[in-house]
Amino acid sequence: MPIRHHMTDALLLAYSAGQLSEAFNLVVAAHLSMCDECRAQAGAFDAVGGAMLEHAPASEMGGGSLAQTMARIAAAPATPRAAAPRRGLLPGPVRDYVGGDLDAVRWRPVGMGVRQAILPTAPGAKARLLHIPAGQAVPDHGHRGMELTLVLRGAFRDATDRFAPGDVEIAAEDLEHTPVAEAGEDCLCLAATDAPLRFTALLPRMLQPLFRI
């Protein structure tokens, strides 16, 4: 199935320029692991960075800097030749943050059968894995900031469209949505938010601090 929902150019440029928070970087890196179209576009934005570097104002290096760098190299441990990349159920960058594959995820229940695992990223934005049982709805919520949701397995639908593996939903501040996992297969997502979610119902709102949603 081809990926239908891609990253925007603005997000890819920000990723390439290094302007995203770590949590958003992680979702973009996971999407690029699944989507060569966006990976090539991110590579093009990297090339802008390369051209920028080539034209950057040169700043003279300190005396003896080359010798110091050679000493650093001599002291550095040998980097092994890259082994053939290991394939997994989770994209490589997500495995790095989980510390293993899907079976190593430390899930916590957040109610209604939905489970989440918050991934250890720098403060400012949060990245989490979400496991939504087939047919189950995630509580109706809005956002104070932006939410990026990448489907890893299964699929979900909301009022806007259907999202399958590799698809990313970019929800801005104004979107109130109730994602529902499709029947038949549990849905696994990687989501990043730069502000706490805003739940419309009272109960999830009370649980929010407890579950750090």
Partner 1 sequence: MFDAPTDDMTAPWHARPVPPAPWAAVRRSGGASAVKDGTAETDWAAQVALVRDNRDSAAFARIFRHFAPRVKGFLMKSGASAALAEECAQDVMATLWTKAHLFDPARASVSTWIFTIARNRRIDALRKARRPEPEDLPWGPEPAPDQADTMAMQQDTDRLGRALTALPPKQRALIERAYFGDLSHTEIAAETGLPLGTIKSRIRLALDRLRHQMT
- Which stretches of the chain bind partner 1, using CB under 8 A? 8-14, 16-22, 24-26, 28-30, 32-33, 36-37, 39-41, 43-62, 65-66, 68-70, 72-73, 76, 78-79, 81-82, 84-85, 91-93, 96-97, 121-122, 146
Q: Which of residues 53 and 202 has its CB atom nearest to partner 1 in the complex?
A: 53
Q: Which of residues 25 and 139 has its CB atom nearest to partner 1 in the complex?
A: 25
Q: Nearest distance from residue 99's CB to partner 1, in Å?
A: 13
Q: Nearest distance from residue 39's CB to partner 1, in Å?
A: 6
Query: Any residues with CB less than 8 A from the CB of 69 and at least 6 apart, and which?
Result: none
Q: Which of residues 52 and 159 has its CB atom nearest to partner 1 in the complex?
A: 52
- β partners of residue 92: none
Q: Nearest distance from residue 83's CB to partner 1, in Å?
A: 9
Task: Identify the H or E element spanning 84.
Answer: none
Strand stretches in the chain, DSSP E: 108-109, 115-119, 126-132, 141-143, 147-153, 156-157, 162-163, 168-171, 180-181, 187-193, 197-199
Q: Tell me how far apart the alpha carbons of residues 115 and 106 are, in angstroms, rounded to a whole number.
A: 10
Q: Nearest distance from residue 52's CB to partner 1, in Å?
A: 5
Task: Report residue 31 as tokens.
Answer: 């999407």
